[in-house]
Chain A
Amino acid sequence: MVGYIDKIKEISERLLKDGKVDMVIGFRKGTMPMMNEPHRVKSADDVKNLVWDSNCGINLANYLTDRKEKIGIVAKGCDSRNIVTHIIENKIDRDQLYIIGVPCKGMIDSHKITNAVSGEIVDVVESNGEVTVKGDGFEETFNKADVLQKNCAVCIHRNPVIYDELVTDLVEEQADVDRYEDVREIEAMSTEEKHNFFDDLLAPCIRCYACRNACPLCYCPTCFVDESRPQWVGKGDDPVDIKTFHFLRAYHCAGRCTDCGSCERACPVGINMRLLTKKLEMDCLNLYGWEAGLTLDNRPPLDTYKPDDPEEFIK
């Protein structure tokens, strides 16, 4: 992953110099360990600031919504699936985009690493599938596979599904991963346990809406929680209002979510709200054989009707 950046820079520079695009959207080096900042490069001189490593978890498709320019965009597997979804939903035109595909080996979960060491992290270095964490008076090395974001650990679409150019050869997709183990654990609970589980899960929420805003799918001009005429949801920190927000947001992502993990990654209080979207993702797969963002040729199952749609739930 670390070696990709030279190729990303080369392609970006060429695109900008040739006037093929008005900007390239990628990442620049962050100021905190395990953080990079989404960044748009407008001139070939600025290309040097682009970076690529395992801290580029934010989904860049989020920065394409309703843009009018010609854009080069660096896209890992999940980003590319959200680009497909954006194109299907008319949030961007395929012709506007030059997609620089990045076969991805997974992003680092900073929460996991922070919790695994005692003390403040000063620097995190990545090489050969290992992640070395340095701090005052300690240095620890982890296997990258053990500190991946939860969604990356079970990802089976690491390669971009749509691209104009790849930065390297496609990577081998993970096989034999159990993608829905955590969802099944919840399904096995009793009603009361489920209810309490989500009560606890969502209790720390501060309603900053970072999950929603980091999500490429959440582009409504006015979100239902912001609507005031009529006001659907209370705006305070009442637990029922907080749950309503999270549950409804998840529903709005049904059949669209690519499990890119941006929501969980963005959450300042560490809530795994992916458990909600994953349930819907699993249902879409089981009921309709559908995974979001894999193709431009088919309409998503929830915006089409087919006579053979499953309907056991209708009595």
Chain B
Amino acid sequence: MKVIKIDKAKWNDGLEALNGSYSLFGPVKQNECYEFKKLDKDEQLDLSGLNTRMSAKGLIYPHTEAMFTYTLDEGEENHHIMQPADKDYSPRAVIGIRPCDADAFLLVQRNFDTPDYKDPYWIQAYEATTFVGLACNNPCRSCFCTSAGSGPFHEAGLDVLVVDAGDYFLAKAITEKGEALLKVTGWDNELDSDTAEKEIAALKNDAEAKISSTILTDNLKEMPITAVYDAPFWEDVAFACINCGTCTYVCPTCWCFDIQDEVHGTSGTRMRNWDSCMFPLFTLHGSGHNPRGEKVQRVRQRFMHKLKYYVDKYGDGIQCVGCGRCVRACPVNIDIRKVCDLMNNYDEATCAAQ
């Protein structure tokens, strides 16, 4: 695929050229952290942060999202009938998303875009979006992407990969969508692709060598579900957990939601909000029974889903891209890397013998 060299002085010109064809989203610094935000005209994104505090998940799948609207006014012809909510699925571009976050959308896609069930909101938003990723030259110490099936220069899920090569950027088109976007920018200094690829590969090697944190996942698939489910370490893992939703809300691959109706006067909205398996309410039955009424059951569920059930169901790795956000954000320092080790190293026979 073609690679374009972008003089840093021309970076903003190219983004400005996108205005009009795309609405732009990108990281900006808010208070002490970086967050994704829709950029107003003339507003500039800030690529100096390591990663955003919240993942890019909310750009495609907002925290609170309208699904339908309706009226209860019986004078109206269509009263009590759900109408699709007004949505804007015009083209948008997310600039400066990290490769792990883009990769995460592919994991989430398995939930929202299946042969049997297609989530119209997620799919339309995802299809309307072009992802221009920024490779991580200096990954965080708590990033473990390379052993979670992703990487600092990972291309899956991206339409364009932008690499900071010091005085200039290299932009590599990965999909046709990405090529189309690059055309609009006006950046036109196309390089010989072999040489450019070599330059990118060298930077990639440097970046991957800087990843200091890794996990092992090789035993997860073969391990019997019931063995690891009944493993003795869960009580210890769960003790500190306060059952807040932080880990699931900052996670780019957590996809659960809850549907709510809100009515104001006679007009109503059916919306969906992010939900979290850490909350007791998540599994509370109408009967009052709660199959995951205890904290330890909820903590186990989160890790079993990401590191075992998902692995078994889809057969190509864990439901985690190693962005490290949950590790950094957890108020009580519960660390998925440690839990993954416990699960991966778990040997029922040895434990039973002890």
Instruction: Say if the beta carbon of B245 comes within 8 Å of chain A.
Output: yes
Contact (A270, B244) CB under 8 Å given A31-B327, A206-B63, A236-B273: no
Instruction: Say if the beta carbon of A87 comes within 8 Å of chain B.
Output: no
Instruction: Encode contact with A along B316-346: 1 for CB under 8 Å, 0 otherwise.
Output: 0000000000011101111101100000000
Q: In the complex, which residues 1-57 of chain A have their Cβ closer than 8 Å to any Cβ of chain B?
A: 30-32, 35-40
Instruction: Say if the beta carbon of B249 comes within 8 Å of chain A.
Output: yes
**Cα separation A192 to B31 with both chains bound (whole Å):** 22
Instruction: Say if the beta carbon of B142 comes within 8 Å of chain A.
Output: yes
Instruction: Say if the beta carbon of A111 comes within 8 Å of chain B.
Output: yes
Query: Could you tell me the distance in whole angstroms from the C-beta of B245 to the nearest C-beta in chain A?
Result: 4
Which segment of A176-184, A208-216, A247-255 sits at the interface?
Answer: A208-216
Complex: chain A residue closest to B66, CB-CB: A236
Which segment of B71-79, B82-90, B235-243 sits at the interface?
Answer: B235-243
* B245, A234: Cβ atoms closer than 8 Å: no
* A235, B32: Cβ atoms closer than 8 Å: no
Query: Could you tell me the distance in whole angstroms from the C-beta of A210 to the nearest C-beta in chain B?
Result: 4
* B332, A234: Cβ atoms closer than 8 Å: no
**Cα separation A167 to B337 with both chains bound (whole Å):** 33
Query: Could you tell me the distance in whole angstroms from the C-beta of A75 to the nearest C-beta in chain B?
Result: 16
* A63, B64: Cβ atoms closer than 8 Å: no
* B246, A208: Cβ atoms closer than 8 Å: yes
Q: In the complex, which residues 1-57 of chain B have their Cβ closer than 8 Å to any Cβ of chain A?
A: 30-33, 50, 53-54
Query: Which listed residue (B54, B245, B332) contacts A209, Cβ 8 A?
Result: B245
Instruction: Say if the beta carbon of A115 comes within 8 Å of chain B.
Output: yes
Cβ of B258: which chain A residues have Cβ within 8 Å of it?
Answer: 235
Query: Which listed residue (B138, B244, B250) contacts A213, Cβ 8 A?
Result: B244
Cβ of B327: which chain A residues have Cβ within 8 Å of it?
Answer: 31-32
* B32, A115: Cβ atoms closer than 8 Å: yes
Cβ of B33: which chain A residues have Cβ within 8 Å of it?
Answer: 269-270
Q: In the complex, which residues 217-268 of chain A have their Cβ closer than 8 Å to any Cβ of chain B?
A: 222, 226, 228, 234-238, 265-268
Cβ of B329: which chain A residues have Cβ within 8 Å of it?
Answer: 268
Cβ of A212: which chain B residues have Cβ within 8 Å of it?
Answer: 244
Cβ of B239: which chain A residues have Cβ within 8 Å of it?
Answer: 38-40, 63
Max chain B Cβ within 10 angstroms of own Cβ: one of A31, A40, A222: A31
Complex: chain A residue closest to B213, CB-CB: A31
Cβ of A226: which chain B residues have Cβ within 8 Å of it?
Answer: 279-281
By size class, the interface of chain A is 35 or more
Query: Could you tell me the distance in whole angstroms from the C-beta of B336 to the nearest C-beta in chain A?
Result: 10
* A120, B240: Cβ atoms closer than 8 Å: no
Query: Could you tell me the distance in whole angstroms from the C-beta of A140 to the nearest C-beta in chain B?
Result: 17
Contact (A58, B262) CB under 8 Å given A63-B239, A266-B244: no
Instruction: Say if the beta carbon of B276 comes within 8 Å of chain A.
Output: yes
* A235, B246: Cβ atoms closer than 8 Å: no
Q: In the complex, which residues 131-168 of chain B have their Cβ closer than 8 Å to any Cβ of chain A?
A: 138, 140-142
Query: Could you tell me the distance in whole angstroms from the C-beta of A184 to the nearest C-beta in chain B?
Result: 23
* B54, A236: Cβ atoms closer than 8 Å: no
Contact (A32, B333) CB under 8 Å given A115-B32, A120-B141, A270-B31: yes
* A266, B333: Cβ atoms closer than 8 Å: no
Complex: chain B residue closest to A263, CB-CB: B331
* B260, A234: Cβ atoms closer than 8 Å: yes
Query: Could you tell me the distance in whole angstroms from the C-beta of B146 to the nearest C-beta in chain A?
Result: 17
Cβ of A141: which chain B residues have Cβ within 8 Å of it?
Answer: none
Q: In the complex, which residues 260-278 of chain B have their Cβ closer than 8 Å to any Cβ of chain A?
A: 260, 262, 271, 273, 276
Query: Which listed residue (A32, A111, A122) contacts B32, Cβ 8 A?
Result: A111
Contact (A266, B32) CB under 8 Å given A208-B249, A235-B273, A236-B271: no
* B142, A214: Cβ atoms closer than 8 Å: no
Contact (A213, B140) CB under 8 Å given A114-B32, A268-B250: no
Cβ of A208: which chain B residues have Cβ within 8 Å of it?
Answer: 244-246, 249, 276
Query: Which listed residue (B54, B142, B246, B273) contacts A210, Cβ 8 A?
Result: B246
Query: Could you tell me the distance in whole angstroms from the C-beta of A44 to the nearest C-beta in chain B?
Result: 16
**Cα separation A37 to B239 with both chains bound (whole Å):** 9
Contact (A204, B30) CB under 8 Å given A213-B243, A236-B273: yes
Query: Could you tell me the distance in whole angstroms from the C-beta of A67 to the nearest C-beta in chain B?
Result: 12
Query: Which listed residue (A30, A115, A214, A222) contacts B242, Cβ 8 A?
Result: A214
* A38, B273: Cβ atoms closer than 8 Å: no
Cβ of A39: which chain B residues have Cβ within 8 Å of it?
Answer: 239-240
Complex: chain B residue closest to A123, CB-CB: B141
* A120, B337: Cβ atoms closer than 8 Å: no
Contact (A30, B333) CB under 8 Å given A238-B64, A268-B53: yes
* B242, A62: Cβ atoms closer than 8 Å: yes
Cβ of B250: which chain A residues have Cβ within 8 Å of it?
Answer: 268
**Cα separation A36 to B240 with both chains bound (whole Å):** 10
Query: Could you tell me the distance in whole angstroms from the C-beta of B189 to the nearest C-beta in chain A?
Result: 32
* A236, B331: Cβ atoms closer than 8 Å: no
Cβ of A269: which chain B residues have Cβ within 8 Å of it?
Answer: 33, 53
* A35, B64: Cβ atoms closer than 8 Å: no
Q: In the complex, which residues 224-261 of chain B have their Cβ closer than 8 Å to any Cβ of chain A?
A: 239-240, 242-246, 249-250, 258, 260
Instruction: Encode contact with B along A111-124: 1 for CB under 8 Å, 0 otherwise.
Output: 10011000010100
Complex: chain B residue closest to A227, CB-CB: B281
Cβ of A236: which chain B residues have Cβ within 8 Å of it?
Answer: 63-64, 260, 262, 271, 273
Contact (A209, B244) CB under 8 Å given A236-B271, A237-B63: yes
* B142, A32: Cβ atoms closer than 8 Å: yes
Q: Pull 18 A–B residue pairs with CB atoms less than 8 Å apart, ordered by A.
A: A32-B333, A37-B334, A58-B332, A115-B32, A136-B138, A204-B31, A208-B245, A208-B276, A209-B244, A209-B279, A210-B242, A210-B244, A210-B246, A213-B243, A214-B242, A234-B262, A266-B246, A268-B331
> Closest 9 A-B residue pairs measured CB to CB?
A236-B64, A266-B331, A210-B244, A213-B242, A30-B333, A208-B245, A35-B333, A38-B240, A268-B329
Q: A226-B280, A226-B281, A268-B250 are in contact. List 16 more A-B contacts (CB 8 A).
A: A31-B327, A32-B327, A32-B333, A35-B333, A37-B240, A114-B32, A136-B138, A206-B245, A207-B63, A208-B246, A210-B245, A210-B246, A214-B242, A214-B331, A268-B331, A270-B33
